[in-house]
């Protein structure tokens, strides 16, 4: 009987200590601002990008990602064949927007909620859901609890099926990143989502592609419009920069 009482005492004594170690969940706005601000140190990662096409096998690529504070990012698509040339993109500070601007755009388009996200690349995360005003889940984001780095993102179609997944599979943070690796000139023109490049213009329509997905920017009734494989927040950012 004494052993039983001692065991119960130990359980109840441990309860408050365990609760004290559990970090409170931040609000969704605070999490998004931290994510949009980016880490305060350099980092290096490998990202796996999957595109899920209806009725077909998923397509996947790996991307090397390095970043520095202030919005500098370098993306290098890792070719499957060793001798194949790699596609390199540099995101310059000029393409970095104020976190408050990004948050306002997301708030205008989505209902936002935060929850526990589990582990991604051995990092603890918070999960953020972005739902259209109709209730449709458009995106889910997994954000590193410590640095605010976006660790994983899933994009869904209107019917709830998964369209795209981007996930960091390896991460060094902090990392010693060579600033000279960002020497390449950032792509000119409107902001483009990661992996997209400008293909050309025909009949007033400018086409962009990442090899599997496409979108067009074109005049429509005296204004610019965008159509294609973009979530609403990406489409809004493309239009905002194209109109400058």
Is the pLDDT confidence value at 203 over 80? yes
- Whole-number average pLDDT of the chain: 87
Pairing of strands 205-209, 197-202: antiparallel
Domain 28-186 has CATH 2.50.20.10: yes
Q: How many CA atoms lie within 13 A of 92 on its CB side?
A: 10
- For the ranges 31-35, 68-72, 82-86, 218-222, the lowest mean pLDDT is seen at 82-86
98-145 per-position pLDDT tens digit: 999 999 999 999 999 999 999 999 999 999 999 999 999 999 999 999
151-202 per-position pLDDT tens digit: 999 999 999 999 999 999 999 999 999 998 888 766 678 889 988 889 999 9
**Which letter, b or e, does each residue of 27-53 get, where b requires 16 or more Cβ atoms within 10 Å of its Cβ?**
ebeebbbbbbbbbeebbbbbbbbbbbe
Tokens found for residue 235:
């489409």
Is the pLDDT confidence value at 28 over 80? yes
The per-residue pLDDT for 83 is: 60
Which region, left, alpha or beta, applies to residue 161 given φ > 0 means left and ψ of -120 to 50 means alpha? Answer: beta
pTM of the model: 0.86
The per-residue pLDDT for 81 is: 65
Pairing of strands 72-78, 162-172: unpaired
Domain boundaries, the chain: 28-186, 187-244
Is the pLDDT confidence value at 11 over 50? no
Average pLDDT value for residue range 68-76: 90
Residue 226 CB contacts under 8 Å (≥ 6 apart), including other chains: 215, 216, 217, 218, 235, 238, 239, 242
Percentage of the chain exceeding pLDDT 90: 65
In degrees rounded to 5, what are phi and psi of residue 70?
Answer: 95, 10
Tokens found for residue 40:
């305060």
Measured CA to CA, the distance from residue 31 to residue 114 in angstroms comes to 8
The per-residue pLDDT for 93 is: 65
């Amino acid at each position: 009987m004494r052993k039983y009482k001692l065991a119960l005492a130990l359980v109840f004594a441990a309860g408050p200590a365990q609760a004290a170690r559990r970090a409170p969940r931040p609000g969704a706005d605070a999490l998004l601002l931290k994510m949009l601000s980016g880490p305060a140190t350099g980092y290096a990662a490998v990202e796996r990008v999957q595109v899920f096409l209806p009725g077909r096998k998923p397509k996947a690529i790996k991307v090397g990602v390095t970043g520095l504070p202030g919005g500098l990012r370098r993306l290098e698509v890792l070719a499957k064949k060793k001798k194949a040339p790699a596609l390199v993109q540099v995101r310059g500070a000029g393409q970095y927007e104020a976190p408050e601007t990004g948050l306002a755009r997301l708030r205008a388009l989505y209902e936002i909620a935060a929850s526990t996200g589990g582990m991604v690349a051995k990092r603890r995360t918070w999960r953020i859901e972005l739902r259209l005003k109709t209730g449709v889940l458009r995106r889910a984001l997994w954000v590193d609890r410590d640095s605010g780095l976006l660790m994983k993102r899933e994009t869904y179609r209107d019917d709830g099926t998964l369209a795209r997944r981007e996930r960091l599979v390896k991460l060094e943070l902090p990392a010693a990143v060579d600033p000279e690796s960002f020497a390449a000139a950032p792509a000119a023109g409107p902001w483009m989502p990661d992996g997209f490049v400008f293909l050309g213009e025909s009949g007033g329509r400018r086409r962009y592609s990442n090899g599997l997905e496409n979108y067009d920017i074109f005049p429509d009734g005296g204004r610019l419009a965008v159509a294609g494989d973009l979530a609403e927040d990406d489409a809004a950012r493309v239009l905002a920069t194209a109109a400058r």
